[in-house]
């Protein structure tokens, strides 16, 4: 009878054979952020529930049914963060980062949503996000899109993703459009599914987002937000697309792209792929000028995006674009021939870590006879075994045995070892 405790559904372990791809992705991201002048911010995983209700919106999928909310021992309502923007705004406000200044920030970490787990959709998943504050022009919208485009290029994904854009206009323009839309949906009430009927009173724009094929024709003829933009939003949008064109970034205008969070205005965008089945959005974002004020700060323009790391890793693996170096195995496995030379082996391994810090060096531990030791050397995946017996110890040398190449064993002076390994 087995009663071993298992991981929570939809929450994944990241095993050693997968971590090199994650590390590759994460190091590419960190380097990219530096190149664009974005600074990292880290916020707690748990926040007050009210933060998410007030920012994401009460009538959104996330707040209505996906949050991990619990009462802590003081009776406060806390929530595991379902996304990163609200917490970034909270932290930036709390520490005065938004006071008369611009900020370019990025974050990464786990997010939590109680969704139905499936490929590319989990209950604990990871995002990388950027948020830029204090800039209201299309130049910064273009910058965050160019930053993401550069990441796709760096990762070899650019040919496999496409950019969809829309503008949600100003709050006033959207409110006027909303009335037109509601009138249109009411005229087609019989076609609306249950979910959409529920949204009609609360969040009618989200109906545009529906994937229900029975509603597709009706939605295709719905009034378009693009046709109801205020002049400023239209100019903003045109200036953004002009910049993308100048930078050679292709895009498609998707008039039904509305995004699931309430805080967006003007620019919204998504990067999608067809290579992952139905979980095709790998990055999504937009402008959210009203959020800082909504959370109690001074009005502050803001734009950002979040990308789903699991989906991007799946994409990297599906397309097989991870360079071999990312999975580079150990360089050397150091062993004494027997217990009498274990100490000498340890000293050699430490010396090698001093003189060749770029190498991955594993020391044999756990004793055993020579045959056993060599078996472990082989299993370690290292390119070479560095062996010290009594003779080598006495003469200050070490034997290099090539574990992957058809090449004779060599003996070199210990002091030349780093140079020899580098030249292999
Ligand atoms: P979707 O339409 O796929 O549910 P969303 O609009 O809820 O996405 P956002 O809140 O904008 O997603 O999050 C940004 C990105 O984070 C998504 O584009 C996706 O790549 C990723 N993401 C969102 N939810 C999940 C999840 N449950 N599991 C894995 N990745 C996710
Ligand atoms: Mg979702």
Look at residue 304 and tell me whether its pLDDT is greater than 90: yes
Confidence of residue 424 (pLDDT cuts 50, 70, 90): confident
pLDDT of residue 345: 98
What predicted TM-score, i.e. pTM, was given to this entire model? Answer: 0.93
- 300 and 380 both lie in a single domain: no
* CA dihedral (102, 106, 111, 115) positive or negative: positive
- 151 and 244 both lie in a single domain: yes
Q: Which residues pair with 411 in a beta bridge?
A: 399
Instruction: Give residue 221 CA to ligand 2 midpoint distance, Å.
Output: 25
Look at residue 159 and tell me whether its pLDDT is greater than 60: yes
**Structure tokens belonging to residue 107:** 């974050």
- 264 and 359 both lie in a single domain: no
CATH of the domain at 356: 3.40.50.800
- 282 and 370 both lie in a single domain: no
If one counts every other C-beta atom within 10 angstroms of the C-beta of residue 89, the result is 28
Look at residue 373 and tell me whether its pLDDT is greater than 90: yes
Eight-state DSSP code of residue 75: S
Q: What is the pLDDT of residues 167-215, one digit of tens each?
A: 999 988 988 999 999 999 999 999 999 989 988 988 899 899 888 899 9
Instruction: Give residue 58 CA to ligand 2 midpoint distance, Å.
Output: 15
Look at residue 330 and tell me whether its pLDDT is greater than 80: yes
The total number of structural domains in the chain stands at: 2
Q: What is the mean pLDDT of the chain?
A: 95
The bound ligand whose nearest atom lies closest to the alpha carbon of 211 is 1
- 143 and 68 both lie in a single domain: yes
204: in domain:
no
In which domain, by residue range, is 405 found?
329-423
Instruction: Give residue 282 CA to ligand 1 midpoint distance, Å.
Output: 7
Would you list which residues are annotated within the binding site for L-histidine? 83-85, 113, 127, 131, 259, 263-264
Pocket test for ligand 1, best of 308, 312, 315 (most atoms within 8 A of CB): 308
- 266 and 339 both lie in a single domain: no
Find the mean pLDDT for residues 98-103. 94
Atom from ligand 1 closest to the CA of residue 306: 14
Find the mean pLDDT for residues 274-292. 93
Q: Which of 268, 271, 295, 291 is closest to 281 using CA atoms? A: 271
d(CA 300, CA 288): 9
Confidence of residue 231 (pLDDT cuts 50, 70, 90): very high
- 282 and 406 both lie in a single domain: no
d(CA 84, CA 128): 9
330 close to 20: Cβ distance less than 8 angstroms: no
- 401 and 281 both lie in a single domain: no
pLDDT of residue 111: 98
Domain boundary among 285, 319, 353: 319
Look at residue 381 and tell me whether its pLDDT is greater than 70: yes
391: in domain:
yes
Confidence of residue 422 (pLDDT cuts 50, 70, 90): very high
Look at residue 262 and tell me whether its pLDDT is greater than 80: no
**Structure tokens belonging to residue 355:** 């003189």
Considering all CA atoms of the chain, what is the largest pairwise distance in Å, rounded to the nearest integer?
93
- 293 and 405 both lie in a single domain: no
The bound ligand whose nearest atom lies closest to the alpha carbon of 121 is 1
Query: With a 6 A CB cut-off, is 115 part of the ligand 1 pocket?
Result: yes
Query: With a 6 A CB cut-off, is 342 part of the ligand 1 pocket?
Result: no
pLDDT of residue 1: 56
116 close to 220: Cβ distance less than 8 angstroms: no
pLDDT of residue 416: 97
């Amino acid at each position: 009878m087995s009663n071993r405790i298992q991981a929570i559904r939809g929450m994944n372990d990241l095993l050693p054979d997968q971590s090199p791809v994650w590390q590759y992705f994460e190091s590419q991201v960190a380097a990219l952020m530096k190149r664009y002048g974005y600074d990292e911010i880290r916020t707690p995983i748990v926040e007050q529930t009210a933060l998410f209700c007030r920012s994401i919106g009460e009538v959104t999928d996330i707040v209505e049914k996906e949050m991990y909310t619990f009462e802590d021992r003081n009776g406060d309502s806390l929530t595991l963060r379902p996304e990163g923007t609200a917490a970034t705004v909270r932290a930036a406000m709390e520490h005065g980062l938004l006071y008369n200044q611009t900020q370019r920030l990025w974050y990464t970490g786990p997010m939590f949503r109680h969704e139905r787990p499936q490929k590319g959709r989990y209950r604990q998943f990871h995002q990388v996000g950027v948020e830029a504050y204090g800039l209201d022009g299309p130049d910064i919208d273009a910058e965050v899109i160019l930053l993401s485009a550069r990441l796709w290029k760096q990762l070899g994904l650019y040919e496999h993703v496409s950019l969809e854009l829309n503008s949600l206009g100003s709050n006033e323009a959207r409110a006027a459009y909303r009335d037109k839309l509601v009138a249109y949906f009411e005229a087609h009430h019989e076609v609306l599914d249950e979910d959409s009927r529920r949204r009609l009173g609360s969040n009618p724009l989200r109906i545009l987002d529906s994937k229900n094929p029975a509603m597709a024709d009706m939605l295709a003829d719905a009034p378009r937000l693009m046709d109801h933009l205020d002049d400023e939003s239209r100019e903003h949008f045109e200036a953004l697309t002009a910049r993308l064109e100048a930078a050679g970034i292709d895009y498609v205008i998707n008039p039904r792209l509305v995004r699931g969070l309430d805080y967006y205005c003007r620019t919204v965008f998504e990067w999608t792929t067809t290579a992952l089945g139905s979980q095709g959005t790998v990055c999504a974002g937009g402008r959210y000028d009203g959020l800082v004020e909504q959370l109690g700060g001074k009005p502050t323009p803001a734009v950002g995006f979040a990308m789903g790391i699991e989906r991007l890793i799946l994409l990297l693996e599906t397309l097989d674009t991870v360079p071999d170096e990312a999975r580079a195995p150990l360089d050397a496995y150091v062993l004494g021939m027997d217990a009498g030379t274990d100490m000498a082996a340890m000293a050699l391994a430490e010396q090698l870590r001093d003189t060749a810090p770029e190498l991955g060096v594993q020391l044999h531990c756990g004793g055993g006879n020579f045959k056993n030791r060599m078996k472990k050397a082989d299993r370690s995946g290292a390119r070479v075994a560095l062996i010290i017996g009594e003779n080598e110890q006495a003469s200050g040398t070490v034997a290099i045995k090539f574990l992957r190449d058809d090449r004779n064993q060599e003996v070199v002076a210990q002091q030349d070892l780093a140079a020899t390994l580098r030249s292999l």
